[in-house]
């Protein structure tokens, strides 16, 4: 059946769905732009603090693990057992000799990725920091031990917009599905992304705060306190 002979209702249905998809996309793009602009502003004020908190969080977890392992060994070997010295924190710059230009690029990519790795970094909820620890640990390892190309690859992976979950959801879509089916799938996917964006901490701040810029001062107080506690808890690692 030629396109012009298709039922009129089908053509109208497809057109309506396409208009709905375009409307959702415009709404998503508008909100996303505002969130990204606000995120860039926060980055300019707090990037160093956020990166340091994530680095120290990893070190603190390593210290706790080492302490736990020490207790286990002491029980196994008796009270006379003397544990080896604490964690040795090696400066990332001392790991490999690379040219200054590559070093600066590594630092830039590392800082960007650290800032981005937290999906909801400004919520000030400890459980969200917990979610980023595994990726943060891997990022630190690559920054210290691998070359610029490896870091670039991991940086690109972190900034990838397509998650494994999204790929799995679309894996069983039939190749010969109708145009209407494809548009409906696209609409549902975009609705889910829009819902997630609207429920993000940054969007809530932009819509619920009378003056969103006040949040910068709140974050500075939060990170100052957080860093003070983490520095005390991890000072043994730097001796």
Q: What is the 3-state secondary structure of 207-239?
A: HHCCCCCHHHHHHHHHHHHHHHHHHHHHHHHHC
Q: Whole-structure pTM over 0.75, yes or no?
A: no
Q: Please give the Cα distance from 74 to 80 (Å, whole number).
A: 8
- What is the pLDDT at residue 235? 86
The residue segments making up the domain with residue 64 are: 3-238
Higher pLDDT, 175 or 109: 109
Domain count, the chain: 1
- What is the pLDDT at residue 173? 34
Tokens representing 219 are 């974050």
- What is the pLDDT at residue 38? 93
Confidence of residue 146 (pLDDT cuts 50, 70, 90): confident
Confidence of residue 12 (pLDDT cuts 50, 70, 90): low
Cα→Cα distances 67→15, 60, 72, 79, 97, Å: 64, 11, 9, 15, 33
Whether residue 206 has pLDDT greater than 50: yes
């Amino acid at each position: 059946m030629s396109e012009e002979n298709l039922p009129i209702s089908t053509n109208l249905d497809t057109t309506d769905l396409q208009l709905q998809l375009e409307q959702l996309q415009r709404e998503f793009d508008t909100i996303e732009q505002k969130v990204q602009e606000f995120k860039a502003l926060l980055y300019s004020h707090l990037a160093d603090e956020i990166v340091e908190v994530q680095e120290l969080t990893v070190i603190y977890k390593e210290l706790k693990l080492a302490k736990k392992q020490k207790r286990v060994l002491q029980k196994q070997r008796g009270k006379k057992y003397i544990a080896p010295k604490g964690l040795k924190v090696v400066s990332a710059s001392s790991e490999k000799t690379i040219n200054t230009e590559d070093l600066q690029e590594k630092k830039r990519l590392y800082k960007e990725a650290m800032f981005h790795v937290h999906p909801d970094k400004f919520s000030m909820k400890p459980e969200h920091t917990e979610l980023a620890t595994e990726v943060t640990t891997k990022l630190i390892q690559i920054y210290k031990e691998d070359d610029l190309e490896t870091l670039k690859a991991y940086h690109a992976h972190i900034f990838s917009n397509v998650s494994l979950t999204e790929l799995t959801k679309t894996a069983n879509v039939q190749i010969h599905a109708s145009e209407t089916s494809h548009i409906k799938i696209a609409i549902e996917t975009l609705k889910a992304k829009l819902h997630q964006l609207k429920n993000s901490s940054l969007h809530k701040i932009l819509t619920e705060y009378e003056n969103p810029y006040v949040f910068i001062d709140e974050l500075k107080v939060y990170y100052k306190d957080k860093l003070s506690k983490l520095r005390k808890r991890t000072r043994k690692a730097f001796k």
